[in-house]
Chain A
Amino acid sequence: GNSVTQMEGPVTLSEEAFLTINCTYTATGYPSLFWYVQYPGEGLQLLLKATKADDKGSNKGFEATYRKETTSFHLEKGSVQVSDSAVYFCALRPLGGKLIFGQGTELSVKP
């Protein structure tokens, strides 16, 4: 079946540190991959997406590359800010199927 596994949190970083949140997936076929972010007290916002192998999604300094050989879609940012503190969800959607979320990774950035 289809599933998403994310690194467990919480992740605590100092401001300007490098961020990596690992995400691996299991899927049949060629799913689309997404990162969503949920700030405290808010709904989910689409952060970035990739729809085929080797695509790189990017937004607001965040990047993730669709790696089919390692079935991964790790989220990276070169220099985090306090305002990046949130819960990050990796998700996949098989063609014609439902959106499947990972468990979420809570990020806390300290000044």
Chain B
Amino acid sequence: DTEVTQTPKHLVMGMTNKKSLKCEQHMGHRAMYWYKQKAKKPPELMFVYSYEKLSINESVPSRFSPECPNSSLLNLHLHALQPEDSALYLCASSQEHGAYEQYFGPGTRLTVT
């Protein structure tokens, strides 16, 4: 089983809202990732968690706040977003960070109004 699940599939939020994206994997992977993808572009790395600790933050604005409650779950908390933050947000996992292939979830399509 190489499944990464993400909820919700679609999300529309206003600029003053607070919302969260959720990601789950049950492959025993110890590294989890958040990516942002704009239309017809490759994914851009946002955050990396390794063994439940934040190991990489790619200078992401503080209105995006990641959280890793346990080794299977990854959240992305959203607050005071801008319309330009509208994108597909992808979660991925791998056995270890920096080694092995990454498996991606289906993504959350976020629209900020």
Q: How far is the CA of A42 from the CA of B9 in the complex (A)?
A: 10
Closest-by-CB residue of A relative to B33 is A99
CB-contact partner of A99 in B45, B88, B107, under 8 A: B45
Q: How far is the CA of A55 from the CA of B18 in the complex (A)?
A: 47
Chain A contact residues: helix, strand, loop or mixed: strand
> Which among B59-67, B69-77, B79-87, B96-104 touches the partner chain?
B96-104
Q: How far is the CA of A31 from the CA of B92 in the complex (A)?
A: 19
Interchain nearest-CB distance for B95 vs A (Å): 12
Q: Please count the residue pairs between chain A and chain B whose beta carbons lie under 8 angstroms apart in the complex.
A: 47
Residue B8 CB within 8 A of the other chain: no
- What band does the interface of chain A fall in when counting residues whose beta carbon is under 8 Å from B? 20 to 34
Per CB-CB distance, the 8 closest pairs between chain A and chain B, nearest first, are: A101-B42, A96-B98, A44-B104, A43-B106, A43-B107, A43-B104, A43-B105, A43-B90
Q: A residues engaging B (CB < 8 A)?
A: 32, 34, 36, 42-46, 49, 87, 89, 93, 95-99, 101-104, 106
Q: Please, could you name 8 A-B residue pairs with CB atoms under 8 Å apart, sorted by A? A: A32-B101, A42-B107, A45-B104, A46-B103, A97-B98, A98-B98, A99-B45, A101-B42
